[in-house]
Chain A
Amino acid sequence: MEILMSFLIGIIFMSATYLMLSKSLLRIIVGTGLLSHGVHLLLLTMGGLKKGAAPLLGQHAEAYTDPLPQALILTAIVIAFGITALFLVVAYRTYQELGSDNMELMRGKEGNE
C-alpha cells in the first residue's frame, strides 16, 4: 500500500507543479491546494499505514496506528487552510484592483535599466 501511495503522491505533486507553473492565478492557488494534499498524504504514508486500530484508547486494541503523524497533519491542515484562505482573498482583491488574473501581466516594474 505504501508503494502505491508513493506513486499517488508523486502524481499529485506532478499535477500541483504543473498547475503552479501556469499563468492563471486561480490555477496557481489550486496547485498549492493540491500540493498540500500531497504533503499530508506523504506524512501519513511515511508514518506507516494500518498498523492497528484508530488512536483511541477506548478501542482496547493490541496495536494502534501512530498518533504522531496524525497530530502533525492536523496542524498542517489548519495552517494550509489559513494560508489558502488568505491567498484566495489576496487573489480576489487582485482581481478587483488590477482586473486580471494573468500572472504574466503582473510583473514588477523594470528594476535594472
Chain B
Amino acid sequence: MSLLHLAIISPLILAIFIPFVHKTFPKIHTGWFLLPLPVLLFAYFLSFLSTTINGQTTMETLAWIPTLGINFTVRLDGLGLLFAMLITGIGALVVLYSIYYLSKEKEKLNQFYVYLLLFMGAMLGVVLSDNLIVLYAFWELTSFSSFLLIGYWNHRERSRYGAQKSMLITVFGGLSMLGGIILLYLMTGTFSISEAIVLADVIVNHELFTAALLCFLLGAFTKSAQFPFHIWLPDAMEAPTPVSAYLHSATMVKAGIYLVARLTPIFALSGLWIWLVAGIGILTLFWGSFNAVKHTDLKGILAYSTISQLGLIMSLLGLGAASLHYSTIDAGFYTVAVSAAVFHLLNHATFKGSLFMMVGIVDHETGTRDIRNLGGLMTIMPITFTIAIIGAFSMAGLPPFNGFLSKEMFFTGMLRAQEIGFFNMGTLGILFPIIAWVASVFTFIYSMIIVFKTFTGKFQPEKLKVKPHEAPLGLLISPVILVSLVVIIGLFPNLVAPLINTVMASILPGMEFDVHIYHWHGFNTELFMTIGVILAGILLYKFMPKWTGVYTRMPERFSFNSAYDNGLAAIQKGANRFTNAYMTNSIRTYLIYIFAFFIFTLGTTLIVKNAFTLDTSNVASIHAFEVVLVVIIAVGSISILFAKSRMTTIILLGAVGYSVSLFYAIFRAPDLALTQLVIETVSVALFLLVFYHLPKVSRHEETRQFKMGNAIISVGVGVVVTMIALSAHSGKAFDSISQYYIENTYKKAAGENMVNVILVDFRGFDTLFEIAVLAIAALGIFSLIKLRLTRGKEQ
C-alpha cells in the first residue's frame, strides 16, 4: 500500500466517519470536515506535476487477486494526473460551494457527503487504475454514487426518475465495457492497460478486435452522454446543483472521454475507431448545441451544452487519433486535434463548473431557474453577472477567454479532417468543419441566452418567489476561483502547455510534442470561421422568435426520451404479458409444458443421434398366459381413461396393480409380488376412503370429455418411452454386476434371499432412508389431519 493507493482510498475511508462526525457535531456544517481532504489531495497530486512533466510515470502495485492477474495497480502519467487534479481541485471548490448551498438544518448532510466522497474516491480510482478490472470496479462505483446523488431528494418523483434513467443507461454501458475488458483479456492475456498498449499491433488484426472496440466505445459513450445515450444527462439535473457542477459537467461525464483517450493507443490503429469516435462526437456536438437553445430551464441549457461540449472533445480525440497512422510524415499535423481536446477538456471543466455554480446562485437567490421568469438581475447581482459573462463568453468561444483558444484549435483540427487520406475521410471529411461551424453558432446563441435572458432585460420581481439579492461571499468563492482560471488560462495559455504536452504523450505514446498556443495566428480560415460564428450568432439571437418555431415542428413522440420511456414501458408490459401468457396457474398447462419438453428433447435426440435400435437376439420367449396378462393390463389401463364413474376407475387401477404383482410372480420376483399385493390392497382402500369423502357438489359423475391435445401428448409420451425402452434393451453395453451378489450373498452376508440381503446388507443405506420416507409420510398424514390452524382462526 503506497501513498498513491491511500490517496485514492482516502475519500472512501473518510466516508465511513462522516455519519459519526455529523452526529457528534450537529452545530457545524459537515462539509467543513470534508473540505481539507480534497485540498490535501490536490496538493499531493500537484507535487507530482514537475516529475510527470519531465516524462516520469509513477507506478505502484498492490496485490489483490494475483492468481487472476487482477492487481490494484496505480499508474500516474500525464493524462491520469490532469484528471486527478481536476477531480480533487474542482472537488474542493464544489465542497466549499455546497457548504453554503445546502442548509444544515433542512438537508440530510451526512448522506450527501458520504455519496460525494464515494464518488470522489471512485473517480480517482477510474483515472489512476492501470488494471482494467479495477478500473471497471471504480467505474461502476461512480455510476452507483451518481445514482445516489441524482436521487438525493428522493421524495421528488423527477429525481427518482432521473436517477433510475442514468443508472440504467450508464450501467448498460458499464456492463458492455466489462465485456470489452474480457475480450481484450482474451486477445492479450493481460488486464493491464500499459501492457496491452505494447501489443496494439497484434490486437488490431485479431478477430475479436471489432467486438472489443464496440464494447468499450459503448461504455465510453453512455458514460459521456454521447448521442443517442445523451438523454440521461438532462434528467440528472434534478440533483442538487453542486452535484451537477461536479459530476455532470467536470468529472464523471468525462470518464468516457478519459476511457477513449486512454485506449486510443490500443484501438486507434483501426479506421472504425476514428470514424466512430469522431462521427458520434460531431453528431453529439451538433445535437446538443441545437437542442440547448430550445430550453428555458438554465440547468437544462447547461446539460445540453455539456453534452455538446463533450461531443466536441470526443470528435477531436477521434480525429487526432489519425496521427498514429503517420509516424513519420509531419506528425504534428493531426496531433493538433488531440492538443485541442486536452486543452478544451481543461477549459470546459473551468467554465462549465463556474456556470453551474452561477445558476445555483441564481436559483438560490431568486427561487427559480426559468429564464422566462428571470431578467434584469445585472444590477442586483453584479458579481454573479460577471461570473456568468466570463463563463458564457468563454463557452461561446470569444476572446480573450480560454474557450476562444480551444475553439480556434478545434476548427484547425476539424479543417484537417479532410486531409486524412484514408477511410473515405477525403470526401466526407469536409462535413466535419461544416457541422462544427453550425454547432458553434448554436453554442454562441445559447451562451448568449444564458447571460442576457437572465441578467438583462426587464426585471420581473412579481414572478420571483424571494426578493433577489447578491449571493453571500461563501457561495461566490468557488465560481470566482474558476472564472479567474478561465481568464488566466485565456491570457496566458502557455502556462498549461507543458501539462498538455504530457497528457498528449500518454494518449499518443512514442511521439514528441511541442504545443504552443498563440492568441494571434494571422488571418487564416479559423479566424474567419470565428468571425462568421459571431456574426451569424448575433443575427440569429436577434431574430430568435422568428425561427424557434422549428423546435415545435419536431414531434415529441419521436424524441429519444420518448423512445426510452416507451421502450422501458414496452419491455415491462411485454414481460408482464409474456409471463401472464404462460403462467396460467393451471397445473394442466404446466404438465403439458413438461411432457411436451420431454417428448421434444428425447424424441429429437433419438432421431438426430440416430439412436433407435431394435435387437431381438437377446429377448426371452413369450408364453400364452403372459400375453393374456399383458392384454389385461393394457386393456385395464386404457379403460381407466374411459371409466365414467370414479368407482370403476379405482377398481380398474386395483386390477392393474394385482396384474402387475402377477407379473412379478412370473418373472421370478417373489418379494416384489408379495409387497405389491399388500400395498395395492392398502392403496385401493385409501382411494376408496377418499372417494367416500368426496364433497356432495362434485359427487355427480360428470362425463369425461375427450381432449385432443391431451391425447396427442399422452400418445407421444407412450411412444417415446417405448422407443427408449426398446433401444436401451437392444443396445446393452456390458454385463450386470449382479454376479457378485449371487456369489457372495451367502459367503459374506450369511443369507440366502439375495434381494433381502441387498436391501439390508449390501445396500442398506437405501433402506434406511426409505424407512425415513415412510416415517415422514406418516407424520405428514398425521399432521395434515390433526392440524387445523386456519379453521380454528375462522371459527
Query: Which label, helix, strand, loop or mixed, suits the secondary structure of the B interface?
Result: helix
Partner of A112, one of B580, B676, B682: B580
Is B671 in contact with A70, judged by CB distance below 8 angstroms?
A: yes
| Measured CA separation A37–B718 after assembly (Å) | 14
A74-B640 contact given A21-B710, A95-B693, CB 8 Å threshold: no
Residue numbers in B under 8 Å from A79 (CB-CB): 770, 773
Is B738 in contact with A66, judged by CB distance below 8 angstroms?
A: yes
Is A99 in contact with B690, judged by CB distance below 8 angstroms?
A: no
Q: Does B24 contact A (CB under 8 A)?
A: no
With both chains docked as a complex, state the minimum distance between the C-beta of A97 and any C-beta of chain B, in angstroms: 8
A99-B697 contact given A1-B626, A17-B595, CB 8 Å threshold: yes
| Measured CA separation A5–B626 after assembly (Å) | 10
Q: Which of A54-103 contact B (CB under 8 A)?
A: 54-58, 64-68, 70-71, 73-75, 77-79, 81-86, 88-93, 95-97, 99-103
Residue numbers in B under 8 Å from A49 (CB-CB): 620, 667
Q: Does B633 contact A (CB under 8 A)?
A: yes
Partner of B633, one of A8, A29, A64: A8
Is B722 in contact with A6, judged by CB distance below 8 angstroms?
A: yes
Partner of A41, one of B592, B663, B687, B713: B663
Is B619 in contact with A22, judged by CB distance below 8 angstroms?
A: no
Residue numbers in B under 8 Å from A92 (CB-CB): 689-690, 693
| Measured CA separation A99–B741 after assembly (Å) | 52
| Measured CA separation A82–B780 after assembly (Å) | 10
Is B691 in contact with A56, judged by CB distance below 8 angstroms?
A: no
**Which residue of chain A has its CB nearest to the CB of B637?**
A15
Interface-central residue, A57, A77, A90, by most chain B CB under 10 Å: A77
With both chains docked as a complex, state the minimum distance between the C-beta of B591 and any C-beta of chain A, in angstroms: 6
Is A42 in contact with B758, judged by CB distance below 8 angstroms?
A: no
Q: Which of B700-748 contact A (CB under 8 A)?
A: 704, 707, 710-711, 713-715, 717-719, 721-722, 725-726, 728-729, 736-738, 741-742, 745-746
Is A89 in contact with B784, judged by CB distance below 8 angstroms?
A: yes
Is B697 in contact with A100, judged by CB distance below 8 angstroms?
A: yes
Residue numbers in A under 8 Å from B621 (CB-CB): 1, 50
Is B755 in contact with A108, judged by CB distance below 8 angstroms?
A: no
| Measured CA separation A67–B791 after assembly (Å) | 50
Is B766 in contact with A82, judged by CB distance below 8 angstroms?
A: no
Q: Does B531 contact A (CB under 8 A)?
A: no
Is A74 in contact with B759, judged by CB distance below 8 angstroms?
A: yes
Q: Give 1 or 0 for each of A1-25: 1 = CB within 8 Å of chain B CB.
A: 1111111111111111111111110
| Measured CA separation A51–B580 after assembly (Å) | 54
Residue numbers in B under 8 Å from A22 (CB-CB): 588, 704, 710
Is B759 in contact with A71, judged by CB distance below 8 angstroms?
A: yes
Q: Give 1 or 0 for each of B129-153: 1 = CB within 8 Å of chain A CB.
A: 0000000000000000000000000
With both chains docked as a complex, state the minimum distance between the C-beta of A100 and any C-beta of chain B, in angstroms: 6
Q: Does B664 contact A (CB under 8 A)?
A: yes
Q: Give 1 or 0 for each of B668-705: 1 = CB within 8 Å of chain A CB.
A: 11111001100100110011011101110110000010
Q: Does B634 contact A (CB under 8 A)?
A: yes
**Which residue of chain B has its CB nearest to the CB of A109?**
B585
| Measured CA separation A49–B622 after assembly (Å) | 11
Residue numbers in B under 8 Å from A68 (CB-CB): 736-738, 741, 758
Is A17 in contact with B718, judged by CB distance below 8 angstroms?
A: yes
| Measured CA separation A106–B633 after assembly (Å) | 32
Is A27 in contact with B649, judged by CB distance below 8 angstroms?
A: yes
| Measured CA separation A8–B660 after assembly (Å) | 11
| Measured CA separation A65–B670 after assembly (Å) | 11
Is A86 in contact with B780, judged by CB distance below 8 angstroms?
A: yes
| Measured CA separation A39–B592 after assembly (Å) | 20
Q: Does B616 contact A (CB under 8 A)?
A: yes
Partner of B714, one of A5, A18, A37, A74: A18
Is A88 in contact with B714, judged by CB distance below 8 angstroms?
A: no
With both chains docked as a complex, state the minimum distance between the C-beta of B720 and any C-beta of chain A, in angstroms: 8
Is B649 in contact with A12, judged by CB distance below 8 angstroms?
A: no
Is B736 in contact with A47, judged by CB distance below 8 angstroms?
A: yes
Partner of A15, one of B585, B640, B725, B758: B640
Is A67 in contact with B742, judged by CB distance below 8 angstroms?
A: yes
Partner of B620, one of A2, A6, A42, A81: A2
**Which residue of chain B has its CB nearest to the CB of A20?**
B591
Partner of B695, one of A5, A56, A90, A99: A99
**Which residue of chain B has its CB nearest to the CB of A52?**
B668
- B residues apposed to A, CB below 8 Å: 576, 579-580, 583-588, 591-592, 595, 614, 616, 618-622, 626-627, 630, 633-634, 637-638, 640-641, 646, 649-650, 653, 656-657, 660, 663-664, 667-672, 675-676, 679, 682-683, 686-687, 689-691, 693-695, 697-698, 704, 707, 710-711, 713-715, 717-719, 721-722, 725-726, 728-729, 736-738, 741-742, 745-746, 752-755, 758-759, 763, 766-767, 770, 773-774, 776-778, 780-781, 784-785, 791
16 contacts between A and B (CB under 8 A): A2-B619, A4-B626, A4-B627, A14-B717, A21-B591, A22-B588, A48-B618, A50-B667, A54-B668, A54-B670, A67-B754, A89-B686, A90-B784, A99-B697, A100-B697, A103-B588
- Beyond the given A47-B736, A68-B758, A103-B586, could you list 18 further A-B residue pairs with CB under 8 A, ordered by the A residue number? A2-B619, A16-B637, A17-B713, A17-B718, A21-B707, A21-B713, A26-B690, A33-B683, A40-B660, A44-B672, A65-B668, A67-B754, A67-B758, A79-B770, A82-B777, A95-B690, A112-B576, A112-B579
